[in-house]
Amino acid sequence: MKKMYVFILLVAIGLTTASCSKDENDTIEFKALQISEVELPESFSLGNTYEVKVIYSAPDGCTYFEGFDVTQKDTTIREVFAIGSRNIDKQCDQAVTNHEESFLFKVVHDQDYLFKFWQGQNTEGEAQFLEIEVPVN
C-alpha cells in the first residue's frame, strides 16, 4: 500500500511539473499598469472591510493582470499600483484595453484615509497619482 501511495504521488508531481513548465527562452517582465478610474465608498466605518474597484489599462493583448501592490506610506496614506506581467518574446496586438479588478481594504484607523492610485509618469518621469480621500466615521 505504501509503494502505491508513493507511486501515485510521484505521478502527480510529474504531471504537475510537466504541465507548468515554460520555455527556457520566455522572458517575463512586470510593470505598473495605469489606473484611470476608482470606485470607493463616500466614507468608511472603523473595523469594516470594503471592496475597492479599479479600472486599469492593459497596453497590449499580452499583458495580464497579476494583482495590486498597496503600500502604506504613512498611518493612513496608501499608494496603489496595478501590476501586470507580459512575455516580451511574444508578438501581440497593440490595442490598449481597459479592465476592472478589485481588492479588499480593511479600515483599522479612525483617521481619514488618503489613497494615491498610480496613473503613469509625466514628461519629467515623475509619478502621477489619482488622489482620493475617504473620511472615517
Label the pairing between strands 35-39 and 49-58: antiparallel
Helix (H, G, I), strand (E, B) or coil at 7: helix
Q: What is the pTM of this model?
A: 0.79
Task: In whole angstroms, give the CA distance from residue 22 to residue 37.
Answer: 34
Residue 5: what pLDDT? 45
Residue 76: what pLDDT? 97
Task: In whole angstroms, give the CA distance from residue 72 to residue 109.
Answer: 12
- Burial tier of 59 (Cβ tally within 10 Å: 0-12, 13-18, 19+): middle
- Residue 3: enclosing H or E segment and its boundaries? helix 2-20
Q: Are 86 and 60 in contact (CB under 8 A)?
A: yes
Residue 89: what pLDDT? 86
Average pLDDT across each block of 10 residues of the chain; the chain has 137 residues. List them in order.
47 46 73 97 98 96 96 97 93 92 98 98 96 97
Residue 93: what pLDDT? 87
